[in-house]
Amino acid sequence: MIDVGSFRARTCQGVSRRTFLRAGFAAPFALAAGQGTLTAAEAPKAKSVLLVWLGGGPSHLDLFDPKPKAPAEYRGPFTTIATRSPGIRFTELLPKLAARSHKFSLIRSNVNFHDGHREAGSIALTGASEAATIYPPNIGSIVARQRGHEGLPRFISLARGPVGDGVGPIQGYGGGTWGRGYDPFMIGCTEKGQLEIPSLKLASGLTPTRLADRRYLLGELDRIGRDADSGRYEVWDHLRQRAHALLTSPEGVAALDLSREPAASRAAYGQTSFGQSCLLGRRLVEAGVPYVQVNWSRFVEVYYPFADYGWDTHADNFGLISEWHGPLLDRVFSTLLDDLETRGLLATTLVICMGEFGRTPRINEIGSRDHWHPCYFSLWAGGGVQPGRTIGESDARGEHPVSDPITPAMVGTTVLELTGINSATRAELRVLAGGRVIHELL
């Protein structure tokens, strides 16, 4: 049984009807008809990418780039601790990750070009050079296009919907200039591991009872096949078809059903939406999904149905980060790294942890921190990355890089390079054609 939103749906093992496979699996790519799928010329170092997106802007000074010698109005209240990397210190909030610093590399000189969540998030997720009305495709959309369309969705974003802010969702979360056919497949995951699939809620006439009725579902699949044969294929939204395909394929059922995971494993990740989402992300990577984005989320739907305010800590940065954010990130991300390594997946999975920007080094008038895009951090592990390295350095107050800044285009270019999408293919696709690889990571 798989929890889907607030209801439980039976799985349909063994569904293999030709009409369903033709309609269900071909649907996500109907909009791309005639464009073709290019094959990367080089074997990828990373078979999958797992992006842990800390939406809202985590404070670099209070986590991975502390400044204990800075004036009091900059340094914050946390002490620092040694890591496994000589000379590198984290704050006291990250003891587990400090003990595992040899498993990942840290960049301390990321930069963005805007201080708004929507704009900066769109720039960071696409590698754009500036804020725009329409953005290029998300890095995940590019990887998904190059990896074909067999089996599970190629790009899955673990959230109830596109992340954003109080104004609306970010623009760079999906296909962008390529169109909605390249958007990620959205799956929400609660703290109990129950799944919510937004595209199912859009299906006309679909109720929990009907979805649980095997005979009704099989009848619908037959109808879809007839519609496809009669030329009415386009009336059935491709996202809904992907949802049905996912829930009625054996590999989809196996990957999504967290009840199949040992109790000790689920407990290690913790009973939070973020923890269970990271566990689900590992299962999806293990099932062969090329690009998975895990979005930090904490009860934001109570206030903003379309937003993720998890790390937007304007009013109580130090309280939230010490009582909730820091310990949760430390526990879950360290568990994820250990889990991937134990299962032999880390070497072939590129893991990145970052947000759209950092927070102001100078503490504001209410004793907190605001948006800061000129300097922030990212963590990189697996998939061709050399672990235990520290790339870039910020100045004495954490305000600006003192070495070469790492731009969103460089982040995107490095991800594509490690997934086998080389410069020739990028030029042919017209994406990040002039981007530079972060060679220090490799």
Calculate what percentage of the chain has a pLDDT beyond 90. 64
The pairing of beta strand 349-354 with beta strand 48-53 = parallel
Domains of the chain, earliest start first: 2-8+19-441 (3.40.720.10)
- pTM of this structure: 0.84
In the structure encoding, which two tokens stand for residue 151, read together? 């089996």
Given a contact cutoff of 8 angstroms between Cβ atoms, the answer to whether 193 and 280 are in contact is yes
Given a contact cutoff of 8 angstroms between Cβ atoms, the answer to whether 74 and 397 are in contact is yes
pLDDT at res. 213: 54
At residue 37 the predicted structure's pLDDT band, cuts being 50, 70 and 90, is: very low
Question: Which run of H or E residues covers position 119?
Answer: helix 117-126
Residue at token pair 């074997």: 43
Span 324-376, pLDDT tens digits = 999 999 999 999 999 999 999 999 999 999 999 999 999 999 999 999 999 99
Separation in Å, CA 324 to CA 74, 231, 238, 318: 21, 53, 38, 10
Tell whether the model's pLDDT for residue 15 goes beyond 70.
no
Cite the DSSP H helix spans in 235-312.
238-247, 250-256, 263-269, 273-286
DSSP 133: S
| Amino acid at site 342 | T
- Give the mean pLDDT of the chain: 83
Question: Which run of H or E residues covers position 21?
Answer: helix 18-26
The pairing of beta strand 48-53 with beta strand 155-158 = unpaired
Span 289-305, pLDDT tens digits = 999 999 996 444 434 44
Question: Residue 255 forms beta bridges with which residues?
Answer: none
Calculate what percentage of the chain has a pLDDT beyond 70. 77
C-alpha closest to that of 139 among 441, 376, 355, 421? 421
At residue 38 the predicted structure's pLDDT band, cuts being 50, 70 and 90, is: very low
pLDDT at res. 196: 85
Tell whether the model's pLDDT for residue 118 goes beyond 70.
yes
Say how far apart CA 379 and CA 106 lie, in whole Å.
5
